Structure 1
Amino acid sequence: MNSNQIPIHTNPAGRPIKRHHTARYYVHRVHESLSTRLSKLVCSIFLTLLLIMGIITFILWLSLRPHRPRIHLREFSIPALAQQNGFENAQLIFNVTARNANQNIGIYYDAMQITVYYEDRSIGSTSLLHPFFQEPKNTTVLFGTLSGATLTVTSERWSALLADRSRGTVIFRLEVTASIRFKVSTWSSKHHKLHAKCPVGVGPDGLILASYKDKRCPVYFT
């Protein structure tokens, strides 16, 4: 017999004899089968929980539908522009609205500042002294007057304003900056810095032009 050949045991009828496995073999197979089933069960539970969390998050997002505040410029005027020598008593009057369009999210305004620019240079600013909370689906009116120390217009700047007035339109930019937090039920977010830029033009009478009135101002966060 060749040494590389493995003998096959046969019974008297010439058929191969089936080997019977030991108890240890069957215990190992059962243990291996249980481990595989347990692994599959754990994976199934994990994937199911992950799917449920994803569905809950999606439903919450749909129900809350977060929207950034909507800022509109309602009124803006410098009545002294209608007077040739109104520089000393110049006043700038503004009226801005902040709209919370969210259904279930409130907004804390912890600080807010209004700044007016002419030719990209600040000519006046003022801060809101009292923080406020805005309920969902609510509009807050923000109005004020810049004059005296809060309206820093030099004689040279006033001359430039009058020169633009003689051409029919004086262009300004009113900017709103605010530190806000969003509130959902009892949870409040971290602070976000809101910026809104509102271009505005006034006519020779110093009143806002109709094409700029009630316009929505672009809003972004930093």
Structure 2
Amino acid sequence: MHTGDGLPVQTPPKTRPIKRHHTTRYYVHRVHESLTTRVSKILCSIFLGLLLVIGVVIFIVWLSLRPHRPRFHIRDFSVPGLNQVSGIDNAVITFNVTARNANQNIGIYYDSMVGSVYFEDQRIGSTPLLFPFYQEPKNTTVVYGTFSGATLTVDSQRWTDFKNALAKGSVIFRLELTSTIRFKISRWKSKRHHAHADCAIGVGQDGLILAVSKDKRCPTYFT
């Protein structure tokens, strides 16, 4: 190739790519690095797999052992002489409740239990119930009690309130059972919990529990 003045133009020679030759040490390092990566991945996979298995086992054990609250059902409740004008002289309230341990593998220790009866959110009676006892899994215990005398505070005005409510069809009472309980799994015992069962109960003209309230489950909560 020539320029305008007739002088030849020098064309730079074409260069070939330099072919690098890696040393043996380089290839050994690459192989070692590849093996390390693979071993790390295998170890991570094993670790994650173990975590998954342990998590599933713990979840299954939790499902099978998680404690259920005691289940209380009101079976009977009566106020004899409620339809009598002078019933205040012999005022008595009796009740019958069942406490059910629905757990499959967990027992319940009842360290104490107190029964209280309310009318229009005013407590009119309270008494200790049962004695400390242990309830086996899948077991039902009958709880019964009586409010009378010193354990029942009902004066003539309160009895009149009963009569006025009865004139409208029924008298609504509320029975509260307060228990101090512990759960038992094998040899392990939980800390103490305070369980409360609230039973709303309707009583009819004869002083007996109404059919709508009989065998009703009482809401239970912990504090």
- Give the alignment's TM-score, normalised by structure 1: 0.84
Is the counterpart of residue 46 in structure 1 residue 54 in structure 2? no
Q: CA deviation at 1:73?
A: 0.4
Show the counterpart of 1:177. 178
Question: Which one-letter code corresponds to 1:73 in the other structure?
Answer: I
Counterpart residue number, 1:151 = 152
After superposition, give the CA deviation of every residue in 1:118-172 in whole Å (9 maximum; x if it has no partner): 0011111112362111111110001011111211123221111122223331110
Q: Which amino acid aligns with 2:36?
A: S
For residues 50-105 of structure 1, the C-alpha deviation after alignment (integer angstroms, 9 at most, x for no partner) is: 11112212332444464321100011111131321121321110111101122211
Alpha-carbon deviation of 1:109? Answer: 1.4
Task: Assess if the C-alpha contact under 8 Å between 1:64 and 1:104 holds in 2.
Answer: yes
Asked if structure 2 preserves the Cα contact closer than 8 Å seen for 1:75 and 1:94, the reply is yes
> Once the 2 structures are TM-superposed, how far is the Cα of residue 17 of structure 1 from its aligned partner?
4.4
Aligned to 1:92: 93
SS in 1 for 2:96: strand
Match of 2:22 in 1: 20
After TM superposition, where is structure 1 displaced by more than 4 Å over at least 4 residues in a row? Answer: none
More deviation, 27-36/90-99: 27-36
CA RMSD of aligned residues (A): 2.1
Judge which range, 186-195 or 86-95, deviates more.
186-195
Matched residue of 1:79: which SS?
Answer: coil
Question: How far apart, CA to CA, are the structure 2 residues paired with 1:165 and 1:20?
Answer: 104
Q: Which runs of 5+ in 2 are unaligned?
A: 1-14
**Residue number in structure 1 paired with 2:212:** 211
- 1:154 and 1:8 map into 2 onto residues whose CA distance is 116
What are the superposed Cα offsets for residues 11-56 of structure 1, whole Å, 9 maximum, x if unpaired? xxxxx54413252x34533443343233223311221111111221
Aligned length: 209
Identity %: 65
In 2, Cα distance between equivalents of 1:17 and 1:169: 104
Task: Judge conservation of contact 1:196–1:218 (CA < 8 Å) in 2.
Answer: yes
2-structure distance, mates of 1:156, 1:74: 29
Does structure 1 residue 134 correspond to structure 2 residue 132?
no
Contact 1:73 1:95 in 2 (8 A): yes
TM-score (norm 2): 0.84
> 1:189 & 1:65 partners in 2: Cα distance?
12
Choose 1 or 2 for highest CA Rg: 2
Q: Aligned equivalents of 2:46 and 2:113: distance in 1?
A: 49
Give the structure 2 partner of residue 36 of structure 1.
37
Displacement after TM superposition at 1:184 (Å): 1.8
**Which aligned pairs between 1:56-205 and structure 2 lie closer than 5 A?**
56-64=57-65, 66-128=67-129, 130-205=131-206
- Contact 1:65-1:103 at 8 Å conserved across structures: no
3-state SS in 1 of match to 2:86 = coil
